[in-house]
Amino acid sequence: MLLDEKIATRQSYGEALAELGEENKNVVVLDADLSGATKTSIFAKEFPERFFDMGIAEQDMMGTGAGLSTFGKIPYVSTFAVFAAGRAYDQIRNTIAHTNANVKICATHAGITVGEDGATHQMLEDISMMRTLPNMIVMSPSDDVQTKWAIKEIANVNGPVYVRLSRLATPVIYDEGFVKENNIKFEIGKAIQLGDGTDASIIATGVTVSEALKAQEVLKEKGINVRVIDVHTIKPLDKEMIIKCAKETKRIITIEDHSIIGGLGTAVCEVLSENFPAKVTRIGINNTFGESGKAEELLKKAVDMVKKKGFAKLGIRSFAEYAGISTQPIYDAFCNLKQFNEAVILSINDLYEDFLKTEILKSNYPPYKASGLAYVNFARREPELFKALFMRSRKGESGKREDESFNKIAESISKAYGISYETARKFHLEMWLIVHGFATQIATEYLTLPEEDVSDILTDSFNAFMKLYKGK
């Protein structure tokens, strides 16, 4: 169903505007100094006389758009969602919605997927704000095809419309073949059912529809059949579809790139509470502002989760919930769960190596004994990180690092004590097994030996093994 091709809906918006401008001479476009990012520049290039760059003056832009609509023009006003719904809310409410002005507010860079644009640019409340306004239609198209359809269709609607668009490139869902094969029709206020699952219904909107379809495939492999409902129009909401899903599948899951307060999940709950009460699980942003950062910053937070909950609890979905973000930034940084987990392990390994160096430098013991004690102390102080590193399969890049470290230590033992490399490797392995035994017992709280006792036992073991191996 999902194509490999990915297109950002803001790009689709710009292209649709240019096509619409050719079809309808009353279409005008206004932007607030962001035409390159919102892609209204495509329209501006084709129809410069009908394009107005209002500068960094979003409130003025909304008022101007309302004014143009009184002269029979169809204004499409564009800026980032945080500026459209946030900074210009008063003008939207009183000048556009209250007067039922024929203005199309097309807000790009919505949701948490704006990534490194910054946490303040992650508009997570716009659906809630816009759907409460009388006269306002609220739409959140899921892909390139749907966006182009929506942008053209709303030109035929007499009244205000808010269209939520993404910065992120998302998979194309509704290619021509798929639409024809499944007899799919796009209609404002009518959701689209994808799949005939009977075990549960996943109700999604915007960029999360493609994620829901991925989940559908994963669940299918496990014998769980779910349907995906693409709610491209959040207001007016397709009540019939939602009630139908509740009656037929009983289990409802909503997913959105938005706060679960006042967004799609809330809208679905409102419908069901009044018509067919059913349990709804809402997946979205959990009463928090967004965070922005690079993959390295995601990894820091992931390591923090491992410290508190253990490596076994770490997954894409569980981490997204822990971090209070959507899964999309994680998939932007890492291809899959395997790559994500491996990156987390490498980050933990870096922490361990830093810990080891610090402990050896401040220790009064010889380096080899100091490193053994540091290993045990790491297990004592960070038991979950220790388990993640040393109580798992030694596969992947992290396993290679550990093998390299093991060989380097064996080389240093060989030189320091005048024994062959192979003998040093065997000596180090046997000592490591003893040290690892202590560390494992301490990490799992099976033993509570104080550091002094561990030190004495390691000293005795070292002296005994060295006497044995030097004699060989």
Quick one: CA torsion of 321, 163, 7, 36, rounded to 10 degrees?
A: -110
**Do residues 458 and 369 make contact, with C-beta atoms less than 8 angstroms apart?**
yes
- Separation CA 360–CA 452 (nearest Å): 16
In angstroms, the Cα distances linking 103 to 13, 156, 296, 409 are 16, 12, 42, 70
What is the CATH superfamily name and number for domain 340-470?
A: Tetracycline Repressor, domain 2 (1.10.357.10)
For the chain, what are the domain ranges?
A: 6-171, 176-285, 340-470
* Res 351 pLDDT > 80: yes
Range in 131-135, 145-149, 292-296, 300-304 with the lowest mean pLDDT: 292-296
Q: Is 25 exposed, middle or buried (0-12, 13-18, 19+ CB in 10 A)?
A: exposed
pLDDT at 466 exceeding the cut of 80: no
Whether 328 shows a pLDDT value over 70: the answer reads: no
Query: For 407, phi and psi rounded to 5 degrees?
Result: -65, -35
CB atoms within 10 A of CB 275: 14
Residue with tokens 């946030």: 86
User: Which residue bears the tokens 């003025």?
Assistant: 60
- pLDDT for residue 472 is more than 60: no
Q: Which residues of 409-420 are buried (b: 16+ CB within 10 A; e: fewer)?
A: bbeebbeeeebe
With bands split at pLDDT 50, 70 and 90, how would you rate the model's confidence at 325? low
The architecture (CATH level 2) of 176-285 comes to 3-Layer(aba) Sandwich (3.40)
Q: Of 96-105, 343-352, 410-419, which one has max mean pLDDT?
A: 96-105
Residue 58 is among the residues annotated as catalytic for this protein: yes
Of the candidates 15, 22, 46, 58, the residue annotated as catalytic is: 58
Say what the pLDDT of residue 330 is.
79
Find, among 107, 103, 99, the residue nearest to 129 by Cα.
107
Q: Are domains 6-171 and 176-285 of this chain identical in fold?
A: yes
pLDDT of residue 245: 97
Please give the backbone phi and psi of residue 194, each rounded to the nearest 5 degrees, phi first.
-120, 105
Q: Of 143-157, 209-223, 426-440, which range is least confident?
A: 426-440
| Of residues 276 and 395, more confidently modeled | 276
The whole-number pLDDT of residue 393 equals 67
**For 71-125, what is each residue's pLDDT tens digit?**
999 999 999 999 999 999 999 999 999 999 999 999 999 988 776 666 778 889 9
As a whole-number percent, the residues of the chain with pLDDT over 90 amount to 56
d(CA 395, CA 385): 17
In this prediction, what percent of the chain has a pLDDT beyond 70? Answer: 93
Longest dimension (CA), the chain: 101
- Taking 70 as the threshold, does the pLDDT of residue 321 lie above it? yes
Q: What is the assigned CATH class of domain 6-171? A: alpha beta
SS (H, E, C) 303-329: HHHHHHHCHHHCCHHHHHHHHCCCCHH
Angle between helices 144-153 and 9-23 in degrees, nearest 10: 40
Map tokens 């009184």 to a residue: 70
**Cα 438 to Cα 424: distance, rounded to the nearest angstrom:** 21
